[in-house]
Structures are given as structure tokens and as C-alpha cells.
Amino acid sequence: MTQITTKRNPNAFLREDYQDLVSKALNWNLHRLDSGSLPHSTVDGKKVIMLCSNNYLNLSNHPKIIKAAIQAAKQYGAGSGSVRPIAGTMKIHFDVEEAVARFKHTEAALIYQTGFATNSGLIPQLVGEGDIAISDELNHGSIIDGVRLTKADRAIFKHRDVGDLEKVLREADKKYRRIIIISDGVFSMDGDIAPMDKIVKLANEYGAMTYVDDAHGEGVIGPDGRGIGAHYHIEGKIDVEMGTFSKAYGVVGGLIAGSRDLVNFAYNKSRTWLLSGSHPPAVAGAQLAAIQVLETEPQHVRNLWENTRYFKKELSSLGFNTGNSETPIIPVMIGDSAKAKDFSNGLFDEGIFALPIVFPMVARDKARIRIMMNAGLTRKDLDFALGKFEMLGKKFAII
């Protein structure tokens, strides 16, 4: 065994690793939001058009949702006082879960503290030793971490490639007790949609469970924004529809929707749910109101898609590559990470807040500006932004 003769410096490697990221233009620079998450926000003291928020439907500042949060806090207090299984389940928590199940046309639903807590807490309970988890190669990091926490074997299928998935299933069919197929619904870096109708059909043939992370589909795709199940007209047929309130719904919190058996299993087995404090009443009140707004005000989803179609069409006509996006996530492909960061800085100087996505979130040569469209933006806002993209696209020799 090698003897350590020098004194360890715990902070030294932290500093060195960070500086290495900076030297490769792979570090995140945190920006400060000085206003609410609005179409016209104030970031680092500068007024900008917001093009990188997950607040797709502009619900974070909806007056009905704010009012509901205040009323819930007045009625139930500032906090829940406990974890859900002991003394932290209030009537309003049940009300939200009933509303989610109704909205998504499933038997039941369960609310988690965050979307990440949902994936990291539930996936390890659904499969274990003697089982296999089969994942799309571009799945979100929270899915990857959830799978890593299992004792199950793991396999990958090519992105959205149902033929490759069937090859993996055929090999796994006779070897494993349980098989789970896990995919994002809307892929957050490229904005494309998983072929869940075909995946569900294939899963049924092999007796596999289906699990979809629909974080970027909730409130966005499908009739009235009911998500990927509604999008493919397979509501109630996906075993686990996972989602989040922190994006289109404008609040915070994870969710699952599916059978009553799924929910009963999850709240008895999933440790992130069992051992985390429940949402403050204000959060639950806002969650409930967000569902009610979507049920009664279809204009938000309609406006989001009108803005998306217009902006994507105009970007393409300017000569930008927007990849295979099918949703309000619009990647503007730049390539080099340093150039993507410079492009984003140029946009900020011109009053547009749209951040670069670089390695390791995407491949080294696939850096991009990721636009997240917002229902609250006007045509004037979009045209202003398009003008700045055109100017910088020419400056950086991208178009």
C-alpha cells in the first residue's frame, strides 16, 4: 500500500476541478433573477425577454394560482409539520392528487417533493436483483441516477429506436423476472418526443412495465396539455406517467399518475416520498389551482404552440438548425461550447436571456442555445428576438 506523506487539502481538488471546467468553457455561471419568472424579466439587473424558463404557460404569475397559494397558507399554515406518512398529509394534498388523476384520466396519482425525487425514489423500488431496466440512450440524468440506485441489470436502446428496443427485449425476455422500459416523454435537450404508443405496444407483447418521464410534456403536449398519454391517445395504458409541477404548471413538485396499485405501492416503498417533508400548503394550493386553470383556460396551451410554430419557422427561414424539435423546446445548434457561450452573452447584451447548453449535458460538438418558448410572449417580442438571433448568427458565421 502506498503511504501518503503529504497532508490532504480537501478544498484544493474542488478548486482545481472547477478551474478545469472554466478553462474548457464547461462551467455554469449563475444568473440572478430580480423579478418573477415573466416573459419580460429582470436578470442581473437587466431587463430581458425570457427565452430559457421552463415556465412554458406563464402560469408562475397567474393571479388565480397566486391567490390559491395565499389562501392555502392562511387556512393550513406555512408548513405541513411532518412527512406524508406520519402527520404531513393534509386534505389539500389529497385534493391535488385527485385533480391530477382526473386531469390525466388515470385511476390515481401521487405527489412527490420534486421530479428528481420521483425518479430517484421510485425507479429503484420497481426493479431490483434479477430484473432489468431498459433505457433510451438520451434519458434525463435523474432517470440515470434512479437506475444506478437499483440492483437491476441495465440495458440501453438507441434513441427513439423501437426496433433496437425490441432486440434488447428479445434478449431479456427469458432471463429476467421483471422488465421495465424507461424513457423521457419529451427529451429536454432536443425537444423531440418518445414514440410511447409503439413502446407501450411492444412492452405489452413482452410483459414489460413502461415508465415515462413526462416532465416537459405535462401541460404542453396532448389535448389541453394533459401529457404524453393524451398525445398518443393511450391514457391509462402507460404503467407510470411521471411528471413535474415545476415547468408548465409553474409551481414545484413531482408526480406520478397511473393505477391505484401503483400509487399504493409507491407511497409504501419509495423512500424519497416516505422520508421527505410534504409540500407547504401554499405549494399544494398553487398546484391545485394550476390544474384548474388548465382545465378552464385552454388559451395558454394554444398560445404556447402558436408562438412555438412561428418562432421555429422563422429561425429555420433565417438558416438556423433547430434539430428534430417537435415541441416548445427549440435547440439552436451552435456546435462549439465556447462559441455557444459567446453567442448567449451576445444575446444577453441585446436584451435576450437564452442560455447555452454544453458538454456534458450534450455531446462535445453539439453545443446549442436552448430556447424554451413561453405562452406569454407577444409577436412583437418574438420578432425582436428573431432580429437579434439573425444579427448574431451572421456575426458568428452560423447563418
Catalytic residue numbers?
188, 216, 247
Interacting residues of 334 by C-beta distance below 8 A, sequence separation 6+: 340, 343, 356, 367, 368, 369, 396, 398
**What is the spatial distance between Cα 144 and Cα 241, in angstroms, rounded to a whole number?**
17
Let me know if 154 is exposed, middle or buried by CB neighbors in 10 A (0-12, 13-18, 19+). middle
Closest CA to 281 of 71, 100, 107: 71
Let me know if 365 is exposed, middle or buried by CB neighbors in 10 A (0-12, 13-18, 19+). exposed
Judge whether 250 and 221 are in contact, CB under 8 Å: no
Name the helix (H) or strand (E) containing 306: helix 299-318
Per 3-state DSSP, the chain is made up of helix, strand and coil in percentages (nearest 5) of 45, 15, 40
- DSSP 8-class letter at 367: E
**What is the spatial distance between Cα 220 and Cα 285, in angstroms, rounded to a whole number?**
21
Sign of CA dihedral 128, 129, 135, 138: positive
Q: Report the amino acid identity of residue 209.
A: M
- All three cell numbers of 193, joined, read 418526443
Let me know if 397 is exposed, middle or buried by CB neighbors in 10 A (0-12, 13-18, 19+). exposed
